[in-house]
A and B are shown apart, each in its own frame.
Chain A
Amino acid sequence: MSDRRVSRRGVPVNVGLLAAAALILAVCLLVGGGTASDDASEESFVGTDTTAVTAIEDSHPDYTPWFEQIFAPPSAEVESGLFALQAALGAGVFGYALGALRRRRTTDAASPGVGDDPH
């Protein structure tokens, strides 16, 4: 029980930290959106990987990629779906692991002595 109280007390701090992260993201969106529209580029928030490829094509127009993607998503929609799938898989495993760790702890705490073992 004491474990739960401890972790609950930490919740506002965690929310605050995540809010700070969200704030940075919001500032990025506002400032970055302004930067992009000032430029001649039509699309804003292009991936840096794409920007790097464009930079190579500009500076070394003679270079031709010597190997093709084995599989490339047929459209941007499918691609974002696959990325969402990757994030979902990761989040699922991450959540399962945290849940299992928490359950292990509460079970340990229930049986006396085990939870106090430093090793």
Chain B
Amino acid sequence: MHIAEGFLPPLHAAVWSIAAAPFVIHGTRAVVREIRDRPESRLLLAAAGAFTFVLSAIKLPSLTGSSSHPTGTGLGAVLFRPPVMAFLGTVVLLFQALLLGHGGITTLGANVFSMAVVGPWVGYLFWRLTRRAGILPAVFMAMMTADLATYCATSVQLALAFPDMQSGVLGSIAKFLSVFAVTQIPLAIIEGLIGVVVMRVLISVAKPELTNLGVLGAQKKEPADV
């Protein structure tokens, strides 16, 4: 989902940067507030950031004969709500753009918007929608949809910048979706499964912290709560 450096026209790069900026600023404040108000959740915060760091570094082969990487942003979105991931995701993307030659500074705004804003929010939405089915199915859905939504967002961003000569933006969306989203489906399922394992481990080692964050509480103690 990393749009390569220079591969968005200046206008698009600027617009996506402006669109992403408020989310990142808000997310940075959310992280600072989280650390100040709940110092005990620092370890989980580190775990959520590190999880994204690991998953977005690993490129996996897919059914389509191409390879791609998961995003890992769904976990932090579930634990700390999406704004926190806007900050953590930006840190990861900045690291990759500067040190790994992956992504870029001009495309950072667009990449932040897809991976650190759209992904976490969509994942969080599905977490809320499916939470009644149980924590673990909801985590699976959150991780999977955050991953898929990120790649769909990238497809739309590229399609808007590079509409197809004949079929226009819509045709171009279909073309980029066939590159990104189809490849991503099995990887998103894998990410969902890994997310379930991580959440099971977290429940066994960090139950009080998870209850504090409201991840477990609403499900187990107040089943009537929506």
Contact = CB atoms under 8 A, between A and B. Distances in A.
B101 interface: yes
Interface in A50-103: 51-53, 55-56, 59-60, 63, 65-73, 79, 82-84, 86-87, 89-94, 96-98, 100-102
A44 B65 contact: yes
Given A45-B61, A59-B162, A59-B164, A69 B43 contact: no
Nearest to A14: B197
B205 A24 contact: no
Interface in B1-40: 1-7, 9-10
A45 B65 contact: yes
Contacts of B5: 65, 67-69
Interface string B176-196: 100110011010011001101
Contacts of A115: 208
B58 interface: yes
B220 to A, nearest CB: 11
A31 interface: yes
A14 B43 CA distance: 22
Of B6, B60, B67, most buried by chain A (CB within 10 Å of CB) is B67
Interface of A: 3, 6-7, 10, 13-14, 17-18, 20-21, 24-25, 27-29, 31-36, 39, 41, 44-49, 51-53, 55-56, 59-60, 63, 65-73, 79, 82-84, 86-87, 89-94, 96-98, 100-102, 104-105, 108, 115, 117-119
A9 B95 CA distance: 38
Contacts of B52: 90
A14 B66 contact: no
A111 to B, nearest CB: 13
B6 A32 contact: no
Contacts of A51: 66, 179
Interface residues of B, number: 74
Interface of B: prevailing SS: helix
Contact of B200 (A13, A39, A102): A13
B57 interface: yes
A79 B100 contact: yes
Contacts of A29: 61
Interface of B: 1-7, 9-10, 43-44, 46-47, 49-68, 95-96, 98-102, 104-106, 151, 154, 158, 162, 164-165, 172, 175-176, 179-180, 183-184, 186, 189-190, 193-194, 196-197, 200-202, 204-209, 211-212
B61 A32 contact: yes
Contacts of A105: 205-208
Contacts of A108: 208
Contacts of A18: 193-194, 197
B145 to A, nearest CB: 17
